[in-house]
Structures are given as C-alpha cells and as structure tokens.
DNA sequence: TGCAAAGCGGAACGCTGTTCCGTATTGTTA
DNA sequence: TAACAATACGGAACAGCGTTCCGCTTTGCA
C-alpha cells in the first residue's frame, strides 16, 4: 500500500486559520472550474479562480489527482448533507428531491472525471465509488421515502436505480455541448410524479 | 465533418522515393515503440527509433492522433496479409494460426491505445473498428477453416468470438507488467486443439 | 549538369504538471 | 504588547509534452 491518506488532502486540520480557509476555498473553486471547463482544466485555472498561488494549491494537494479526489469526496459530503436540509426547507418532498438532484448532476461531472484522474488505480476508484454509494444512496432513499409518504410520487423505483439512471443520463454531457443532461434529468424527476 | 482524410496520412503516394521510404519507416518504428513503451510514448521517441527528425514525422502525420491511426490501419493491413502467407508457409494450419495470433496480439496494443488517441471522436473510432472487423474476421475465419479441415481443432468457436476472447485477454496488458497476455493467449490457442 | 521543388532535421514555441524559495502571515511566548 | 519561530503563501522557474518553423539538403526533371 503506497497511497496512505489518498484523497484526504494533507492538512485537513491545520493549526493556521488561513490554511484551513484556503483549503476550503480551493475545494470550492475547483468544483466550480470542473463544472465550467471539465475535469481536465489546468491547475493554474483553479488557482486563479481561488485567487491563490500555485504553491498553495500544491501544498494542500500534492498532485493533480489528489485534488480531484478531494473535490470528489467534498462533493459527496456536501451532497449528502444537502439532502436533509433541502427536505426541511422545500415546500414539498418532491420539490426537495428535484433540487437535490440538481446538486447531484453537477457533482457527477467530477465523478466522471475521476476515471481519467485515477487511470491505473482501479482499487482507488472502487474505494471512492463505494464511498459514493454508502453516503448518497441513503440520502436519496430518504428523499424518495418522504415524497412517497406524501403521496407525491410513484413507488416503483428505488434510490439506487434512480441514481443509476441519472448517472447514465449524464454520460457524455461534458463532450457534447448540445446535450443537455439537466433537462433530461428534470424530465425524469417530473415523470416520477404520481398521476392524480 | 471536419476530419477529411483522417487516418490516411497525407502523402501515401508521394513523388519522391525518400518520402515514401520515410513514411514506411515511421509506421514500422511507431509500431515497435508502441509495443515496447505503450501508445503514450512521446513522438520524439518514435522519431529517434526511425532515425528521423521531428519535422519529418509531422510532415507525414500532422497530428499525434493521425500517426496512431495510420499505424493502426497499417497493422490491420499487415495482419490481414500475414494470414494467407503464414498458412502457406507453416507446417500445419494450427501452427499458422498460432503465429498469426502472435501478430494479432502485438497489434492489439495499438488498438487499445486508439481509444485515448481519439478521446472525443466516437464516430472515428467506430469507423476504424469496423475496418478492423471487415479485414481481420475473414482472415481469422480462413485460418480456422483450414485447421478444421485438417482435423486439428474443435469446431465450436467462430472467428469473431475467438478474436473477441483474445482481445479481452489483452486488456490491461500495458499497465500491469506482471500480466503476460501472450502466454494466456497461447494457452487459449492450445486449448483449441482437437482431443485425439 | 543545373536548378526549382519537395522534403528533411532539430531548435524553438506554447502548454501542461510540478518544484523551489524569498516573503508574508500567524500563533505563541516574554 | 512586542518580538520571534514556525508555518504558509505567491509566482517564477523547471521538465516534459505536442506542435511549428525555417535554413539546409536531397531529389527528379529539363
């Protein structure tokens, strides 16, 4: 095993305030740039978006792959935490589901880029995919259950299959600019509605 | 359509002798380097192997992808032409099949690298894959038929499935140096033998 | 045999990811 | 509060890649 701490970033609990803040800023800037320009975006672009020097980025994430992995985990966590929040905030569970799926779609861009970031590391990819499932399937299931309990949606689709379908709809979204994955996903969610 | 002449090389029928010779030299050198170092090998290495300058390589193949494609087609052609020759030369059809498959395995390295060379061009990839099937399936079928007629091998495997199986055995051969695809493929061919 | 046209070699360019180091910021200690 | 290590920062510099450019050589034809 040579990938100790892979994907965790080196200094998640640093003593210095600016270091902690920069790490957070970088994760968010990278996520933004990945969605806007794809996961192949140059490291310099991410540093610029974050308003930070190259040294800073490499201090926090020793390698480009480390950054992609850290963004991925960060997005998984953010997406998982967003579920209950949206559910509490939204007018209805179905609306909350719709907005949660928007987060999910943005984040899939990063996930699809993982494959190229971890070209030879199938084991690492499997680990991260497992983390993805462990954290997000329950959240999605919770949203589905709430919408079901409210009588808003049909009940013949479980969280795993829904997420799988959304994931498939997003394949190729980064290469073909005419392909609007979000619209198709929105249709899919609309189609979940219980016919009344 | 923006890929006019993609994969054909620019000057296959040049007026000048040295140009034609260099083109051939380059195709062979590239094939050698791809087998030795993988398809990600730097263009400079191929120029060095061919004993040629950078300008020459880019005169013949305007882009790295063009070179990979040209090598691919060249290998498909060479492999297709080798079939009948080996069949005529070898002691038995089964031996000829074994040696043909050796060619085929070397050439698969290039084929697997095509995917990364043509990252976004799925249409181009499909075209080249169709060319691959059109030219090689009949040759493989001819070798199988000859071996069958000679009573050397079992008859329950057609050319397409055999080639598919060999292709699958070679997946990952370029990343894991401990994985010896050729040995496994040899076992597969040995297994074709008719139990006597 | 001369000479334009075609082709060649390899230095130079622009773009990557990554490293390095002088400078600025921070938390701690007197 | 003032001084001072320790820590982190910025961005220039480096190495390796694909690609371009241009002075020189080779070729085939008149």
- Chain C: positions less than 7 Å from a protein CB are 6-12, 15-21, 25-28
Query: Do residues A58 and A69 share a domain?
Result: no
Query: Do residues A28 and A38 share a domain?
Result: yes
Query: Do residues A72 and A58 share a domain?
Result: no
The CATH code of the domain that includes A115 is 1.10.357.10
For residue B140, the model assigns a pLDDT of 95
Q: Is residue B11 part of a domain?
A: no
Q: Among A46, A62, A78, where does a domain finish?
A: A62
Whether the Cβ atoms of residue B185 and residue B101 lie closer than 8 Å to each other: yes
CA distance B18 to B5: 22
B153 - beta bridge partners?
B193
- Is B40 strand, coil or helix? coil
Average pLDDT of the segment spanning B62-89:
93
Query: Do residues A73 and A48 share a domain?
Result: no
A116 pLDDT above the threshold of 90: no
Query: Do residues A42 and A133 share a domain?
Result: no
Query: Do residues A186 and A166 share a domain?
Result: yes
- Is A153 strand, coil or helix? strand
> How far does the CA of B89 sit from the C1' of C20, in Å?
62
Q: Is residue B36 part of a domain?
A: yes
Query: Do residues A113 and A183 share a domain?
Result: yes
Query: Do residues A108 and A68 share a domain?
Result: yes
Q: Is residue B5 part of a domain?
A: no
B13 pLDDT above the threshold of 90: no
Q: Is residue A170 part of a domain?
A: yes
A143 pLDDT above the threshold of 80: yes
Q: Is residue A3 part of a domain?
A: no
Instruction: Name the H helices within B14-121.
Output: 17-37, 43-50, 54-60, 64-89, 93-117
Average pLDDT of the segment spanning B67-87:
93
Query: Do residues A46 and A133 share a domain?
Result: no
Query: Do residues A93 and A164 share a domain?
Result: yes
Q: Is residue B10 part of a domain?
A: no
Q: Is residue B50 part of a domain?
A: yes
Q: Is residue B140 part of a domain?
A: yes
pLDDT, tens only, A11-64: 567 789 999 999 999 999 999 998 888 888 999 999 999 999 999 999 999 999
> How far does the CA of A11 sit from the C1' of C21, in Å?
21
Top-confidence residue, A30 or B127: A30
Q: Return the closest nucleotide (C1') to the Cα of B21.
A: C7
Residue nearest to nucleotide D20 (CA to C1'): B55
How many residues does the structure list for chain B?
A: 196
> How far does the CA of A55 sit from the C1' of C22, in Å?
13
Q: What is the residue range of A125's domain?
A: 64-192
- Chain D: positions less than 7 Å from a protein CB are 7-13, 16-22, 26-29
> How far does the CA of B19 sit from the C1' of C6, in Å?
9
Structural domains counted in chain B: 1
Protein footprint of strand D, defined by Cβ closer than 7 Å to any strand atom: A 11, 14-16, 18-19, 22, 51-56, 58-60; B 15-18, 40, 42-44, 54-55, 58, 62-65
């Amino acid at each position: 095993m040579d990938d100790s701490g892979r994907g965790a970033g080196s200094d998640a609990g640093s003593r210095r305030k600016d270091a902690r803040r920069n790490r957070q800023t970088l994760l968010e800037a990278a996520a933004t740039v990945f969605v806007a320009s794809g996961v192949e975006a140059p490291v310099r672009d991410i540093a610029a978006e974050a308003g930070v020097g190259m040294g800073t980025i490499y201090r926090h994430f020793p390698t480009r792959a480390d950054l992609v992995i850290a963004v991925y985990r960060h997005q998984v966590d953010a997406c998982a935490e967003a579920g209950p929040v949206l559910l509490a905030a939204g007018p209805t569970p179905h609306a909350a589901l719709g907005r949660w799926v928007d987060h999910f779609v943005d984040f899939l861009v990063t996930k699809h880029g993982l494959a190229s970031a971890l070209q030879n590391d199938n084991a690492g990819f499997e680990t991260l995919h497992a983390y993805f499932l462990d954290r997000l399937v329950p959240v999605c299931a919770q949203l589905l259950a709430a919408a079901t309990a409210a009588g808003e949606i049909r009940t013949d689709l479980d969280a795993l299959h829904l997420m799988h379908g959304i994931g498939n709809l997003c394949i190729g979204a980064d290469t073909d600019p005419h392909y609007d994955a979000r619209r198709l996903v929105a249709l899919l969610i609309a189609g979940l509605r219980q016919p009344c």
